[in-house]
């Protein structure tokens, strides 16, 4: 972290650059670069990184706990109880199901940082069309299928608190903030099992009301993704 080294950096600057202050003739290129070196040296001294503080990340393995968390995510998660069922216009509608959570992967490098002495890490995740929200349905005539919402690709970011009691002990993660979207592309609503006409209608709705689909995705996917993370870390 940045230590409070103002006095030390000022002393370095004065000791280094004092000879320049007594020279009144026109500054030469050599003197100019010497002055720049003095400023750089004083700045480096003032912003010294301390490895003896609670925010030191030396020897802390962040990749391992994140990988273990991802492997613990379930293949699917129910938003409602398995017994949930409602009826609309003669169609039975069952509980929302989130599929493919175990296909979520880490995207890029983790970003460790500190807030008021607390170790934090920002992790970005991605999914490549493997995650979907689905609602099974069944008609009184026996036809059945599901209403499915899927994004071709999406990225999202999450903050974790880090607990590392001492060097060599296992690092534990705790979800610090709700997951936030970075980008979500090509959301598509599909009706499976209803024939060609419902499939065409769902495609039309996907193109006509993208903002509505995005709001549904954000509300349901991120809520349940955070639920799955908490369960995996428990």
List, as one string, the DSSP characters of 11-37: HHHHHHHHHHHT--SPPPHHHHHHHHH
Q: Are residues 33 and 98 in the same domain?
A: no
Per-residue pLDDT of the chain (234 residues; tens, 9 = 90+): 444 444 434 443 344 444 544 444 454 544 444 444 444 444 333 333 344 456 778 788 899 999 999 999 999 998 877 667 787 777 888 889 999 999 999 999 999 999 988 999 999 999 999 999 999 888 888 888 889 999 999 999 999 999 876 656 678 999 999 999 999 999 999 988 877 887 888 888 888 999 999 999 999 999 999 999 999 998
Nearest to 158 by CA among 127, 139, 180, 191: 180
For residue 206, what pLDDT is reported?
A: 87
Report pTM: 0.70
Q: What is the domain count for the chain?
A: 2
| Beta carbons of 160 and 119 less than 8 angstroms apart | no
> Are residues 16 and 86 located together in one domain of the fold?
no
Query: Do 30 and 93 belong to one domain?
Result: no
- Same domain membership, residue 206 and residue 131: yes
pLDDT, position 91: 83
The domain of 30 spans 6-46
Predicted confidence at residue 166, as pLDDT, reads 63
Do 91 and 193 lie in one domain? The reply is yes
């Amino acid at each position: 972290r940045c230590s409070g080294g103002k006095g030390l950096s000022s002393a370095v600057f004065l000791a280094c650059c004092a000879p320049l202050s007594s020279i009144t003739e026109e500054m030469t290129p050599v003197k100019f670069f010497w002055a720049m070196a003095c400023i750089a040296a004083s700045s480096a001294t003032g912003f010294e990184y301390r490895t003896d503080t609670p925010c030191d990340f030396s020897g802390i393995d962040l990749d391992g706990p994140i990988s273990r968390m991802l492997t613990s995510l379930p293949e699917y998660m129910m938003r409602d109880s398995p017994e949930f069922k409602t009826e609309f216009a003669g169609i039975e509608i069952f509980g929302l199901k989130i599929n493919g959570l175990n296909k979520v992967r880490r995207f890029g490098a983790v970003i460790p940082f500190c807030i008021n002495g607390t170790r934090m890490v920002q992790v970005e995740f991605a999914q490549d069309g493997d995650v979907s929200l689905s609602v099974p349905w069944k008609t009184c005539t026996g036809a059945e299928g599901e209403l499915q919402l899927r994004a071709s690709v999406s990225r999202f970011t999450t903050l974790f608190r880090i607990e590392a009691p001492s060097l060599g002990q296992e690092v534990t993660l705790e979800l610090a903030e709700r997951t936030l979207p970075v980008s979500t592309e090509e959301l598509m609503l599909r009706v499976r099992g209803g024939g060609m006409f419902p499939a065409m209608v769902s495609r039309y709705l996907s193109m006509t009301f993208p903002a509505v689909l995005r709001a549904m995705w954000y509300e349901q996917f991120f809520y349940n993704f955070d639920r799955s993370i908490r369960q995996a870390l428990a």
